[in-house]
Amino acid sequence: MNDREKARKEMFDRVVNFGSDHAADFPTGSTAATRFANLKTISDKLVAASAGQKPGSATAKEVQFDALRLDLQNIARTASAIAQDEPGFADKFRLPGNLSQANLKTTAQTVLTELGKTGVAAKFIAHEMPATLVADLQADIAAIGTAASAFETGREAGIGSTATIGPLIAAGMKEVNYLDAIMHNKYNRVADKLTAWLSASHIERTPQKKKEPVPTPTKPQT
């Protein structure tokens, strides 16, 4: 698994542990208990798929689209807050009703265009979004292109385990999305448990590798 996939696998495990720690809140047969069980099965399958993965295998593009979706959701949420004092501000940052990969890419390009306008990105950064907001979004879009090429290369080489990991990650995220809705409803007035859930379900962004500085050429001695 690559770093993005590992980050999601680690989050799945934290969520499963959260479900185990709070099992008394969710009786056997309840929707939440079923979702936790589904996620545990998915996590176990990821372990098996990762063990059979060949070195240098292709990056699952589903994971890259998941990262893009999370970034766009954070931007849309922040834009909605800003729009309380700037009516209409959020219009260009709304997520499409259909979160297909094609729609996400189109939305990302629209958002990048808006962020490129004078002073717009600064408004998001002032609300604690990273200073690398634009670069992060550009990196997500670029990673999708790289992942698509790698996926085709891996598919042609017959890398079965790699092809399995992407759908498993997507299935796991689907379970977490269901659980996120349930936890916000269940623990709406139980701050400590909701905080614990948010911590368990949080995905850390993979740090960007720093570019090595290009040495300044020296003039030859005369």
On the 0-12 / 13-18 / 19+ scale of CB atoms within 10 A, 169 is buried
> Taking the complete model, does pTM exceed 0.85, yes or no?
no
* Distance, CA of 57 to CA of 49 (rounded, Å): 12
- Listed as ranges, residues in the chain with pLDDT below 50 are 55-59, 149-159, 209, 211-212, 214, 222
Looking at residue 139, its pLDDT comes to 86
Residue 66: the pLDDT is: 81
Query: What single DSSP character describes residue 60?
Result: P
Structure tokens that stand for 82 in this block: 């800003």
pLDDT for residue 60: 57
pLDDT at 11: 94
Q: Which amino acid would we find at residue 145?
A: G
Q: What pLDDT is attached to residue 221?
A: 56
The pLDDT of residue 204:
72
Report yes or no: 201 and 11 within 8 Å, Cβ to Cβ. yes
Domain boundaries, the chain: 1-57+160-203, 61-158
